[in-house]
Amino acid sequence: MASNATTEFRVRTYQPSDFSALYALLSRSGRLMTQSGLREHLESPMLQAVYVIDGEGLSGVRDVRVTGRGDEADPIFESSGALAESAPTAAFDALLEAALACAADVVRNRGASRGVLQTRCSVVDWKTQADLERNRLVRVRELWTIVRPTLEDIPEPRVASGIELRPYRMGDEAAWVEAFNEAFADHFGGWMGMPLPVWHRYVASAVFKPDISLVAWDGERIAGFGHFRIDDELNQLRKQQVGTMRYIGVRPAWRRLGLARALTRAGLLGLRRHGMQACVSGVDGTNVTGAHLLYLQEGFEVSDREYLYRMTLTNPPGGTHVELLPR
């Protein structure tokens, strides 16, 4: 169905009664997401707002959430959206404007001088790329989805002397988060951070499996970690047993010792023990640590690519509005 440029509409905030319509919209847009996964997203303490446009069910949605550690002096926001084919022509701009206004309010309320909002789109979604660039967002990065299509032929992990790989131990949340944030401190854009409350919430969930959330210990210090995940409900939709390599991180003092490779292999073997047939992950296609190249060496293949777009929101001292500048 073609978009209707003359249709009147309004942007409103999401209500719990919209859940079924929202899930249907996301499913029609090609998002592979379970209802449990959507609920988890909507209940995240980092989520600031979800905006929707009514239509046949819902014709459009866009969220805005704080990312990174959450306590950065200049807040970092992530936003994602979806539109039905029947959505009004101006729906994209209206939803993005609402998300930017929400982020600007957070910047103002924190007394920050600026913030950054980022969003993603497929490298072959030229319409969304044009829409983002028309709204002065700037392409800054290419992100990859990678897949290891089989969990056969995984070499045994080898670690340096004095390093021990162990399953995650409940009670180590603060130490793990400290290690996580140090490991990703030099990641592009500062958005790969972990707030302690978010990690506490996750390890208390039913999907957390300590035996595939591996921690590399050097004595009493965490040197690195390999966090893997299995979502049984999502695998029912996939009709395949696929695990996720969620995080591989090594603190700077322990890099160049082969630890990232060892954690990758150990996690893949753990997924295989759980009956998984493949593994999916995401990685920065220009990672400064060379992680993307390591994963290709370990049998992963690039299955999809996205562009990361960003915009800086600056808040003039004493001002009442937020000026939007590309970054």
- Reply yes or no on whether the pLDDT at 5 is more than 60: no
For residue 76, give both structure tokens.
Answer: 């970092």
Tens digit of each residue's pLDDT (9 = 90 or more) over 262-305:
999 999 999 999 999 999 999 998 876 778 899 999 999 999 99
Are residue 215 and residue 317 in the same domain, yes or no? no
pLDDT band for position 1 (cuts 50, 70, 90): very low
Question: CA–CA separation, 327 vs 310, rounded Å?
Answer: 6
In a domain, 112, yes or no: yes
Are residue 137 and residue 190 in the same domain, yes or no? no
Last residue of some domain: 235, 258, 276?
276
In a domain, 68, yes or no: yes
Closest residue by Cα to residue 120 from 77, 163, 183, 181: 77
Are residue 63 and residue 109 in the same domain, yes or no? yes
Question: CA–CA separation, 190 vs 115, rounded Å?
Answer: 12
Q: How many domains does the chain have?
A: 2
- Distance of CA 257 to CAs 89, 150, 160, 194, 217, Å? 53, 26, 7, 24, 13
Range scoring the smallest mean pLDDT among 3-12, 84-93, 101-110, 220-229: 3-12
Element (H, E) at 128: helix 126-134
Are residue 124 and residue 168 in the same domain, yes or no? no
Are residue 135 and residue 155 in the same domain, yes or no? no
Are residue 231 and residue 172 in the same domain, yes or no? yes
Place of tokens 């073997």: 269
pLDDT band for position 321 (cuts 50, 70, 90): very low
Cβ burial of 283 (10 Å; 0-12, 13-18, 19+) is: buried
Range scoring the smallest mean pLDDT among 6-20, 105-119, 236-250: 6-20
Q: Strand pairing of 278-284 and 242-250?
A: parallel
Q: In sequence order, what are the residues at sequence separation of 6 or more whose Cβ sits closer than 8 angstroms to the Cβ of residue 318?
A: none
Mean pLDDT for the stretch of residues 56-79: 95
In a domain, 132, yes or no: yes
CATH code at 90? 3.40.630.30
For residue 185, give both structure tokens.
Answer: 């401190």
Question: CA–CA separation, 68 vs 63, rounded Å?
Answer: 16
Fill in the amino acid letter for 131.
D
Fill in the amino acid letter for 38.
L
In a domain, 89, yes or no: yes
Are residue 119 and residue 157 in the same domain, yes or no? no
pLDDT of residue 7: 61
- The whole domain housing 115 covers 11-141+308-326
Sign of the four-CA dihedral 93, 98, 104, 108: positive
In a domain, 176, yes or no: yes
pLDDT band for position 30 (cuts 50, 70, 90): confident
For residue 276, give both structure tokens.
Answer: 């998984």
Fill in the amino acid letter for 28.
R
Are residue 94 and residue 189 in the same domain, yes or no? no
Closest residue by Cα to residue 326 from 199, 96, 136: 136
In a domain, 146, yes or no: no
Are residue 173 and residue 262 in the same domain, yes or no? yes
Fill in the amino acid letter for 147.
V
Are residue 29 and residue 94 in the same domain, yes or no? yes
Question: CA–CA separation, 306 vs 143, rounded Å?
Answer: 5
Are residue 264 and residue 182 in the same domain, yes or no? yes
Question: CA–CA separation, 281 vs 229, rounded Å?
Answer: 10
Q: Strand pairing of 76-78 and 81-83?
A: unpaired
* Whether pTM exceeds 0.85: yes
Mean pLDDT for the stretch of residues 219-236: 96
Are residue 230 and residue 173 in the same domain, yes or no? yes
Q: In the chain, what's the furthest Cα-to-Cα distance?
A: 68
Q: Name the DSSP class of 291.
A: H
In a domain, 226, yes or no: yes
In a domain, 197, yes or no: yes
Last residue of some domain: 236, 260, 276?
276
